[in-house]
C-alpha cells in the first residue's frame, strides 16, 4: 500500500511540474532585404496578426508572429537589412592616397567591414539571433540578394555558429508565393555569392588603383581646372562612356551630302498615292535629271504587279528588365535608374513580380488567366480582360530565361498610385495584358508600276483586327489608303517630280539605345545597366540634352580620347564582357572563383602597366579638351629616398608578409619627423608589429631583388653602415650591405632583431585577398619579445597577443551553453523513474523534480 501511494504521489508531482513547463518550439529569425519587404512578408505569413516592435535601427522594424513551418507551430521574428550590410575595403594603411603606390592596390589585403551607418542593423541581428534556433533568409533571389544573405549568415553565425540556416525562394511577394516559399525552404547558393565577391573585389582593386593614378597625375598637371576633381575609373562605366563618345564623334565628323530622287504622284479625288523610286536616290544631279526627262517624255504608267498579303503586327514578348528600362526611357521619358527604383518599390509592396529578371518567356506552370482576371473589374481594362478570357491567355514567348524568375508582371490590382509610380505600374499591366492577347491583323497591298523603264512602288495598309493595340497604347499601327489597281492597268500620273534632299547624321544615343548596346556587348548585367549609366551621369562624364539624347562631357571626352590614343583594353568592352562570362560560369560551378579572380587581376594589372607607360597620350588629349597647358611636359614619375619609382612622391616599400597577423606585408617606412626609418606592418592599427631601425643604418631601401633562399615573396634590404665597427664586422669597406631579415642570422643577432619571438595571433580579418594571401607555413614559428630592437607587441588601444588569445578562449567558453541548448539534453536517471527521461526541462525545474522524486523513493 505504501509503495503504491509513493508511485501515485510521484506521478502527481511530475504532472504538476510538467504542466508548468512550456513545450519546446522552434524560433526562427527571418531577415528580408528591405523593411517594406519584411513588413509585407510578415503580414502574409501571420495573416495580418504580426506585432511590431522597434529594432536598434529606426528604419528596420521587427515583426513577431506565429506560423506553421514543416508541420509545426513556430515562433517567427522578422526583420530586415537595408541592402548590403558589409563593405569590402582595403586595410587602413592602403587607404592613404599619398603613401601607397596605386599599383600596390592590385595585391593589397582587403576585408569586409560593417560601415558605421549599418552598425545598428548589425546589432539588431546579433541581439535577435541569440534567442532563435533557426535563420531564414528572405533577400531577393538573385546574385546580389544571395550575397547579402551570406553577409547576414556570417554575422549571425558569429553569435550562434551552429544555427540552422535556410533560404526562401520566391519571385513575387504575394500570399501564395510567400507561403509556398516557407514550406519549400532550401539552402543558400554559395556559388552566386562567390560571383558577387569576385566582381566586388576586382572592381575595388581596379577602380581604386586606376582612379588614384590618373586623379593624382591630372590634378598635378592641370591645377587650375582639375585640382579638386576626382577622375574615377570603372570597368563598366568607361566602356559605357565610350559608346556615347564614339557616337558623338561620328555625328561631329559627319559631312552631309546632297542627293536627288524621283517620285510619281497619282491623285483621284481626295486621295493621293505616292510611288517611290526603286533606285531610292542619286548623288549625281545630272543623272537624276536625265532619268526625269525620260519619264516626262513618256509619262504613261503601267501596273506591272499587284500583291495583297496578310500583315501581322506582333504583340510584345513578356517584359524583362532591359525591355522595361528601355520602355521607361522611350515611352514614359523616365530614366532607367528611376524606373528600376520605382519597380523595386512596387515589388517590395507586393504589387508586381521581381523586376530584375532576364526571362522573357512564361512557364507553363504559371496560371496567366487567373493573373489577368484580377483586372476584370478595372474600369479601363476590364472589357479587354474579358476578351482575353474568350481567346485564352496565349503569351508570345521570347527566347531568354535565367531559370530563376518569371517575366515582370502585375500581382494585384491597385488604384491608389500616383505620379511616376502609377505610370510604371500601368506600363507593366498593359504590357502583360498585351503579351497574352492576340497580334494585330491587317492586309498590305503593294503596287509596282513602270514609267519609261523606271520602276516605282506604292503600298497601302488595311487593318482588320487591332487586338493587342486596344490595350497597348505605347505602339501605333496606322492604316494607309491606296487606290484599287489591277495588273496590266495603265494610268496617267498626276505629277512626276524630282526632289532634293541631304543625308543626315546618325542620331545621338538615347538611354534606351545605350542600354541596348550594353546588353549587346555584355557590359554589366540586366540589374546593373541603370546603375552604370547613372554613375557616369553623376560624375559629369556624360550629359542629357534635348529629347533625351546623351552627349559626353569635356572630361569624359578627354578620357575617351586619351584611352583610345593609348590603345588600352581598359576602355574597350571586350575585357569586361569576358569577365561577365566568367561570372556566369562561377554561378554554374564551371569555374573556380579564386582562379577567375587571379586571372582577371593579372589582366587588369598588365593594362595598368601599359597605361603608366603611355600616360602622356592621356595628358595631351586632356589638355586639348580642357584648354589648359600641363605644368610640365615631362613625365613626373619620381624616385623616393628608398629608390622606389612611382606616380607619387611618398611610397610604401613592402618586404614580406607580417609573421604576426599574416594579413598585410611589413614595409620600410620613414618616421613622421623624417629622422630615421622603421619597418612596420601595413595592417596598423589592427596589427602593431614594428622594427625600429638604429641610427647606424643610413639610406635604407627595399630592392626589387628577392632572396634566393626564402623565395620570391621576400625582398632584400639595402643599407649603409655608419659605424666602422659594423663595416669591418660585415666586411663592407664601402658600408653598403644587402640583407634578408628572415635568413641573415648574423645581421639579426647583432642588431637584436629576433623574428622567432613574435607569436602569430591569427588572422585579424577573415576576408584577406585570395590573390595575395600567403600561408603561415612560409614563415618560421615566432614568439613574443619585449625590449630592445624587435617586434613591438604591446597594443595601445587593443589587447596584446596573449590577451587576445585569452579573450578568444573566453568567447568560446561563453558559446558552450548555447551550443548545448541547441542539442538534446539528457537527464541523469539515478533514483528517477524511466518516464522522466524523455522530458526536456530548464535546469532549475529538472533539479527540483528529481529531488522531490528522490525523497519519495
Running along the chain, 857 residues long, what does each successive block of 10 average in pLDDT? 66 58 73 92 92 92 92 92 93 85 91 92 94 93 92 94 93 89 94 94 94 92 88 90 93 93 92 93 93 91 92 93 92 92 91 89 86 90 91 87 85 91 95 94 94 93 93 92 90 92 93 91 84 90 90 92 88 87 92 94 92 91 89 50 44 77 82 79 82 82 85 85 82 86 82 67 39 32 30 33 36 37 36 32 38 36
List Cα–Cα distances, 291 to 264, 368, 535, in angstroms. Answer: 13, 58, 55
Name the DSSP class of 370.
H
Which three cell numbers mark 805? 588569445
- Helical axes 529-538 vs 511-521, angle rounded to 10°: 120
pLDDT of amino acid 790: 32
pLDDT of amino acid 759: 56
Picking from 797, 847, 782, the residue whose alpha carbon sits closest to that of residue 684 is 797
pLDDT of amino acid 744: 83
List Cα–Cα distances, 178 to 40, 184, 428, 575, in angstroms. Answer: 10, 10, 21, 40
Q: Considering the entire predicted model, what is its pTM? A: 0.76
Q: How far is CA 566 from the centre of its chain?
A: 29
pLDDT of amino acid 546: 86
Beta strands at 72-80 and 87-90: parallel, antiparallel or unpaired: unpaired
Tell me the three state secondary structure of residue 261.
Answer: strand
Beta strands at 134-138 and 164-167: parallel, antiparallel or unpaired: parallel
Count of CB atoms situated within 10 Å of the CB of 129: 22
Peptide bond just before 45 cis, omega within 30 deg: no
Write the secondary structure of 67-92 as one string of H (helix), E (strand) and C (coil): EEECCEEEEEEEEECCCCCCEEEECH
Q: How far is CA 767 from the centre of its chain?
A: 18
Of 28, 347, 354, 563, the active-site residue reads 354
3-state DSSP: the chain helix, strand, coil percent, rounded to 5? 40, 20, 40
778 contacts 753 by C-beta, under 8 angstroms: no
Is 63 assigned a catalytic role?
Answer: no
List Cα–Cα distances, 71 to 27, 183, 184, 428, 823, in angstroms. Answer: 14, 9, 12, 37, 20
Q: How far apart are CA 843 and CA 827, in angstroms?
A: 9
Tell me the three state secondary structure of residue 303.
Answer: strand
Tell me the three state secondary structure of residue 487.
Answer: coil
Q: How far apart are CA 513 and CA 519, in angstroms?
A: 10
User: 223: Cβ–Cβ under 8 A, 6 or more apart, which residues?
Assistant: 631
Q: In the chain, how long is the greatest CA-to-CA distance?
A: 138
Q: How far apart are CA 577 and CA 520, in angstroms?
A: 10
Q: How far apart are CA 512 and CA 510, in angstroms?
A: 5
Q: How far apart are CA 647 and CA 98, in angstroms?
A: 10
Amino acid at each position: 500500500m505504501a509503495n503504491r501511494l509513493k508511485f501515485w504521489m510521484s506521478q502527481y508531482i511530475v504532472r504538476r511540474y510538467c504542466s508548468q513547463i512550456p513545450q519546446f518550439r522552434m524560433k526562427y529569425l527571418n531577415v528580408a532585404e528591405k523593411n517594406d519587404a519584411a513588413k509585407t512578408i510578415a503580414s502574409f505569413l501571420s495573416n495580418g496578426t504580426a506585432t511590431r516592435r522597434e529594432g536598434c535601427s529606426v528604419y528596420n522594424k521587427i515583426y513577431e508572429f506565429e506560423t506553421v513551418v514543416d508541420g509545426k507551430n513556430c515562433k517567427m521574428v522578422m526583420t530586415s537589412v537595408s541592402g548590403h550590410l558589409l563593405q569590402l575595403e582595403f586595410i587602413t594603411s592602403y587607404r592613404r592616397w599619398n603613401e601607397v603606390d596605386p599599383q600596390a592596390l592590385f595585391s593589397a589585403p582587403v576585408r569586409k567591414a560593417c560601415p558605421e551607418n549599418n552598425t545598428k542593423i548589425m546589432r539588431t541581428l546579433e541581439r535577435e539571433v541569440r534567442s532563435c534556433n533557426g535563420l531564414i533568409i528572405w533577400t531577393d533571389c538573385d546574385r546580389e540578394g544571395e550575397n547579402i544573405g551570406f553577409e547576414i549568415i556570417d554575422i549571425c553565425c558569429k553569435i550562434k555558429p551552429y544555427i540552422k540556416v535556410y533560404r526562401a525562394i520566391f519571385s513575387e511577394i504575394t500570399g501564395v508565393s510567400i507561403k509556398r516559399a516557407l514550406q519549400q525552404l532550401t539552402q543558400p547558393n554559395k556559388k552566386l555569392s562567390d560571383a558577387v565577391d569576385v566582381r566586388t573585389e576586382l572592381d575595388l582593386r581596379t577602380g581604386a588603383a586606376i582612379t588614384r593614378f590618373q586623379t593624382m597625375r591630372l590634378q598635378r598637371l592641370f591645377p587650375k581646372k582639375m585640382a579638386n576633381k576626382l577622375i574615377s575609373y570603372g570597368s563598366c562605366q568607361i566602356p559605357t562612356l565610350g559608346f556615347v563618345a564614339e557616337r558623338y564623334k561620328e555625328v561631329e565628323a559627319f559631312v552631309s551630302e546632297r542627293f536627288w530622287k524621283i517620285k510619281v504622284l497619282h491623285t483621284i479625288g481626295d486621295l493621293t498615292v505616292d510611288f517611290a523610286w526603286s533606285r531610292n536616290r542619286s548623288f549625281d544631279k545630272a543623272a537624276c535629271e536625265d532619268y526625269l526627262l525620260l519619264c516626262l517624255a513618256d509619262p504613261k504608267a503601267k501596273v506591272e504587279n499587284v500583291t495583297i498579303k496578310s500583315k501581322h503586327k506582333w504583340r510584345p514578348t513578356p517584359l524583362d528588365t532591359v525591355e522595361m528600362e528601355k520602355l521607361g526611357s522611350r515611352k514614359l521619358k523616365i530614366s532607367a535608374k528611376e524606373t528600376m527604383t520605382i519597380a523595386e518599390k512596387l515589388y517590395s509592396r507586393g504589387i508586381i513580380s521581381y523586376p530584375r529578371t532576364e526571362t522573357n518567356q512564361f512557364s507553363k506552370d504559371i496560371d496567366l488567366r487567373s493573373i489577368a482576371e484580377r483586372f476584370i473589374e478595372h474600369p479601363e481594362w476590364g472589357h479587354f480582360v474579358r476578351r482575353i478570357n474568350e481567346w485564352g491567355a496565349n503569351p508570345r514567348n521570347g527566347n531568354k530565361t535565367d531559370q530563376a524568375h518569371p517575366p515582370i508582371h502585375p500581382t494585384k490590382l491597385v488604384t491608389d498610385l500616383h505620379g511616376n509610380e502609377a505610370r510604371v505600374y500601368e506600363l507593366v499591366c498593359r504590357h502583360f495584358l498585351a503579351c497574352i492577347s492576340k497580334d494585330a491583323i491587317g492586309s498590305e497591298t503593294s503596287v509596282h508600276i513602270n514609267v519609261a523603264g523606271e520602276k516605282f512602288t506604292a503600298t497601302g495598309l488595311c487593318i482588320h483586327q487591332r487586338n493587342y493595340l486596344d490595350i497597348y497604347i505605347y505602339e501605333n499601327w496606322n492604316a494607309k489608303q491606296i487606290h484599287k489597281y489591277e495588273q496590266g492597268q495603265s494610268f496617267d500620273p498626276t505629277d512626276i517630280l524630282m526632289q532634293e534632299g541631304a543625308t543626315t547624321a546618325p542620331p545621338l544615343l538615347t538611354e534606351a539605345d545605350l542600354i541596348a548596346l550594353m546588353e549587346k556587348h555584355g557590359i554589366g548585367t540586366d540589374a546593373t545597366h541603370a546603375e552604370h549609366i547613372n554613375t557616369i551621369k553623376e560624375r559629369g562624364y556624360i550629359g542629357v540634352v534635348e529629347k533625351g539624347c546623351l552627349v559626353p562631357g569635356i572630361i569624359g571626352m578627354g578620357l575617351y580620347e586619351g584611352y583610345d590614343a593609348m590603345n588600352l583594353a581598359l576602355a574597350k568592352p571586350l575585357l569586361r564582357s569576358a569577365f561577365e562570362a566568367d561570372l556566369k560560369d562561377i554561378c554554374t560551378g564551371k569555374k573556380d572563383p579564386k582562379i577567375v579572380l587571379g586571372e582577371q587581376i593579372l589582366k587588369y594589372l598588365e593594362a595598368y602597366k601599359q597605361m603608366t607607360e603611355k600616360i602622356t597620350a592621356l595628358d595631351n588629349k586632356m589638355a586639348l579638351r580642357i584648354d589648359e597647358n600641363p605644368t610640365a611636359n615631362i613625365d613626373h614619375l619620381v624616385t623616393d629616398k628608398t629608390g622606389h619609382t612611382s606616380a607619387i612622391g611618398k611610397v610604401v616599400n613592402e618586404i614580406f608578409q607580417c609573421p604576426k597577423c599574416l594579413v598585410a606585408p611589413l614595409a620600410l617606412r620613414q618616421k613622421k619627423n623624417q629622422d630615421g626609418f622603421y619597418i612596420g606592418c601595413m595592417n596598423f592599427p589592427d596589427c602593431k608589429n614594428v622594427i625600429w631601425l638604429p641610427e647606424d643604418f643610413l639610406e635604407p631601401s627595399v630592392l626589387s631583388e628577392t632572396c634566393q633562399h626564402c623565395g620570391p615573396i621576400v625582398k632584400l634590404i639595402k643599407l649603409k653602415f655608419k659605424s666602422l665597427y659594423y663595416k669591418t664586422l660585415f666586411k663592407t669597406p664601402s658600408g653598403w650591405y644587402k640583407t634578408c631579415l628572415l635568413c641573415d642570422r648574423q645581421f639579426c643577432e647583432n642588431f637584436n632583431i629576433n623574428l622567432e619571438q613574435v607569436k602569430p595571433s591569427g588572422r585579424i580579418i577573415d576576408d584577406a585577398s585570395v590573390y595575395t594571401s600567403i600561408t603561415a607555413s612560409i614563415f618560421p614559428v615566432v614568439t613574443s619579445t619585449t625590449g630592445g630592437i624587435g617586434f613591438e607587441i604591446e597594443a595601445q588601444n587593443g589587447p596584446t597577443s596573449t590577451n587576445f588569445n585569452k579573450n578568444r578562449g573566453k568567447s568560446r567558453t561563453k558559446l558552450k551553453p548555447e551550443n548545448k541548448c541547441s542539442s538534446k539534453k539528457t537527464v541523469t536517471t539515478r533514483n528517477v523513474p524511466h518516464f522522466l527521461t524523455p522530458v526536456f526541462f530548464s535546469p532549475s525545474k529538472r533539479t527540483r523534480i528529481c529531488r522531490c522524486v528522490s525523497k519519495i523513493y
